[in-house]
Structures are given as C-alpha cells and as structure tokens.
Structure 1
Amino acid sequence: MTVGPARSADWPRIAQLTSDVYLGGGLAAPEYGEELRDVAGRADRAELLVARDDAGRVVGSVALVLAGDFGEVTESDAEAAFRMLVVDPAVQGRGLGALLVAACVERARSAGKRRVVLSTDRRMRTAQRLYARMGFARLPERDWSPRPGIDLLVYALDL
C-alpha cells in the first residue's frame, strides 16, 4: 500500500468512496452527500492524498488543509487540518487510516505547521482510538456543532 497525492482521474473514485463510507455507514445525513462528492471543490481548498493498493486502486483518501478556512477547526496559520478521512471498508483494519494520517502529519510538518487539528463525529470511536494512538489529544474547548444534533470532537497533535 502506498500514500501519495491524488490525481484528477482519482476524483470519481474518491467521491464514491467518501459518499459510501459516510452515507452508507450512517455517519452523515443525506443532505451532506453533495459536499461529500464534491472532490473538485475540496481539491481547490486542500491537498488530496490517496492510499492505493498494490494494483494501484484508490482504497483511501483524506483532504489536508494547509491554509484557509476549509479546515473549519484551525485557529491560526500555524495549524493544518485534515478532513474526510476514508478507507474502503473492504480493506479497513490494515493500517491505511494510520498511513493517511501519518502522511498528513509529515506534509504539515514540511509546510512549517506547528499543529495538526481535526474534528470527528462523536460516534466515530474507531477513528478516535486511532488518533489517540498516534498522539493526538482532545481539545474539548474547541468542540463544535455544524448543526443541531451533530457534535464534533476536536483533536490536535503538536508538531
């Protein structure tokens, strides 16, 4: 498995994978589907990274935000954020999520960032365990709700 920059040819697969994981897994409301599938929009505001299997197929993706407000939880230019981390359910449990997170951390470090932040749905317990294992700490004072009934927890890793 490898992690690297996404190509525009990967966008349809990223859109499908992100939608399938979030909507199919009950992790997002149907009205969020359009944003989940808007890979071109994400690419305008973030660096898209993908995990590929040995055959070169995209089996995971993440959007790394190094500048601007697309990160939603960044508070300064010293912070990077990542969003929409997804791994194909067929290959979950093989460390791809950790590879994608590590790639985000290394890219943020090389860009001179001092912290990586993220928000995750309270229900995403597996992701929360991954972040804790990788050294991320909770920042409860920055938790937020994009709309009533959706509570997002914020985590950060100082670089």
Structure 2
Amino acid sequence: MQLRRATPDDHARAGEVTVAAYADFTLGPADPYVSRLRDAATRDREAELWVATPDDRDDEILGCVTLCPPGSPWRELSGPDEGEFRMLAVAPEARGQGVGEALARMCLDRFRSERRRGVVICSLPEMTDAHRLYGRLGFRRAPELDWSPLDGVRLHGYRIDFEESQG
C-alpha cells in the first residue's frame, strides 16, 4: 500500500470512505456530522488529508486521515508543541489489513520528525477497535483531555509522549 497526500480527485471517495467508516457511530444519513465527515475537500484545504491506496490502484482509497498541523482550525486538543490527527478512517472492505495502523504511524512519524513533544487525539468511547490500535501504538488514556463537542456526545482523550514511547 502507498500513503500520499490526497488530490482533489480523491476528495469524493475519501469522504465516502470516512462516512462508511463512521456509520456505526452516527445517527444515520440525517446526522449533521455526516456532512462534515463527507467534506474531505475542506479537511484537505484547512489541514492535510492523507490517503492509503493499493500499490497497483492509485484511484482506490483504502483509508484516510486528517493530519492537523499547527495553525489548522481542525486542531481540537493539541498545544503548540503537540501533534494531532482526526477522522482516521478505513474502508469497511479494507479493515484488518493494517491500513489504519499505517496511517496513524505516518502521522506519528511526521510529528516526531517535527520534534513535537507528542500527539493527542480524541475518540468516542464506543470506538473500541480504534482504542486497541492506539494502545498498540503507545497512546494512553488522558481523561484530562475528555470533552463534549455537543450535548450528549462525550469524547475520550488519548496521548502519546514521544520521550516515553521511545523507551
């Protein structure tokens, strides 16, 4: 698989992959968050959208992630010396193939190379598959980062400190 910055040709498919990956965690097509998940073009313009594609099919999106560099309005939790990524999504047909891990590692490598102190992210409590991945990568629960973007929605914070994870 290859990881690369999204192009405008990728935006529609990346948006659909994100909607499909998050389908079990929304209220259905009428959920206002679905349009935000689908809007890959805005994420790419205001942050950085990265995609995973098969080696032999550059037009097929296996997964994507929004990497939030300093100054991006997509940053929700991170301080100036921390990295953050959001909306890590894997196409349902590509689950279990290491796509999410490859995208998350790419984000960690990027922020490590920029000499960030660590990375913070948030996730719904129900996203247990994602939590297992984050644990394997060295993230730990950070309850001090928990927050609610909307009434009835509680997000759990996670943190990885590079000094600790490099052991």
Deviation, structure 1 residue 112: 2.5
Aligned to 1:21: 21
- Structure 1: segments with no counterpart, 5+ residues: none
1:96-133 superposed Cα distances (whole Å, 9 cap, x missing partner): 11000000001112223111111000000000010001
CA distance in 2: counterparts of 1:123 and 1:71, whole angstroms: 22
Runs of 4+ in 1 over 2 A off after TM superposition: none
Greater shift after overlay, 94-103 or 26-35? 26-35
CA distance in 2: counterparts of 1:60 and 1:106, whole angstroms: 18
Equivalenced residues, count: 156
CA distance in 2: counterparts of 1:113 and 1:7, whole angstroms: 26
- Structure 2: segments with no counterpart, 5+ residues: 163-167
Deviation, structure 1 residue 49: 0.9
Does the CA contact (< 8 Å) of 2:20 and 2:92 recur in 1? no
**DSSP 3-state at the match of 2:62:** strand
Q: Give, as a single letter, the amino acid of the residue that structure 2 aligns with 1:127.
A: A
Q: Give, as a single letter, the amino acid of the residue that structure 1 aligns with 2:36.
A: E
**DSSP 3-state at the match of 2:122:** strand
Aligned to 1:70: 74
CA distance in 2: counterparts of 1:82 and 1:112, whole angstroms: 16
Q: Does 1:118 align with 2:121?
A: yes
Once superposed, what is the RMSD of the aligned Cα atoms? Answer: 1.2
Please give the residue correspondences for 1:1-159 in structure 2 after superposition, counting only pairs within 5 Å.
1-22=1-22, 25-29=23-27, 30-54=31-55, 55-56=57-58, 57-68=60-71, 69-74=73-78, 76-159=79-162
Instruction: Tell me the TM-score normalized by structure 2.
Output: 0.88
CA distance in 1: counterparts of 2:89 and 2:49, whole angstroms: 12
The alignment-based identity, stated in percent, is 38
Instruction: Tell me the TM-score normalized by structure 1.
Output: 0.92
Does the CA contact (< 8 Å) of 1:66 and 1:79 recur in 2? no
Does the CA contact (< 8 Å) of 2:118 and 2:160 recur in 1? yes
